[in-house]
Amino acid sequence: MNDYVGVVDQSKPSIARVYDYLLGGKDNYPVDQEIGDHFKINLPGSVAIAFGNRQALVRAVRDIARSGVEQFIDLGSGLPTADNVHQIAARYAAGAKVVYVDNDPIVLAHGRSLLATDENTTVMQADVREPEKIRNSDEVRRLIDFDKPVAVVFSAILHHLNDDEDPHGVVSYWHDQIPSGSQVFISHFRSGGNAETEAAEQKLQSTFGRGRWRTDEEIRDLFGDLEVLEPGIVPAVLWRPDTPDESDSSIRSIGSADRELTVWDQLISAGLARKP
For 122-137, the pLDDT digits (tens) are: 999 999 999 999 999 9
Q: Which amino acid is at 189?
A: F
Q: What is the mean pLDDT of residues 105-118?
A: 76
Burial class (CB in 10 A: 0-12, 13-18, 19+), 216: middle
Taken in order of first residue, the domains within the chain and their CATH numbers are 2-274 (3.40.50.150)
Burial class (CB in 10 A: 0-12, 13-18, 19+), 8: buried
Region at 67 (left for phi over 0; alpha for psi -120 to 50; beta for the rest): alpha
Instruction: Please check the confidence at residue 20 and state whether its pLDDT lies above 50.
Output: yes
Answer with the residue of higher pLDDT: 219 or 191.
219
pLDDT band of 82, cuts 50, 70, 90: low
Number of neighbours of residue 81 by Cβ within 10 angstroms:
16
Per-residue confidence (pLDDT) for residue 251, from 0 to 100: 42
Per-residue confidence (pLDDT) for residue 118, from 0 to 100: 85
Instruction: Please check the confidence at residue 274 and state whether its pLDDT lies above 80.
Output: yes
Instruction: Please check the confidence at residue 249 and state whether its pLDDT lies above 70.
Output: no
Closest listed residue to residue 248, CA positions, set 102, 42, 104, 84:
84
For 36-69, the pLDDT digits (tens) are: 888 888 877 778 888 899 999 999 999 999 999 9
The bridge status of strand 97-102 relative to strand 71-75 is: parallel
Answer with the residue of higher pLDDT: 182 or 261.
182
In angstroms and rounded to an integer, the radius of gyration of the C-alpha atoms of the chain is 17
Q: What is the pTM of this model?
A: 0.85
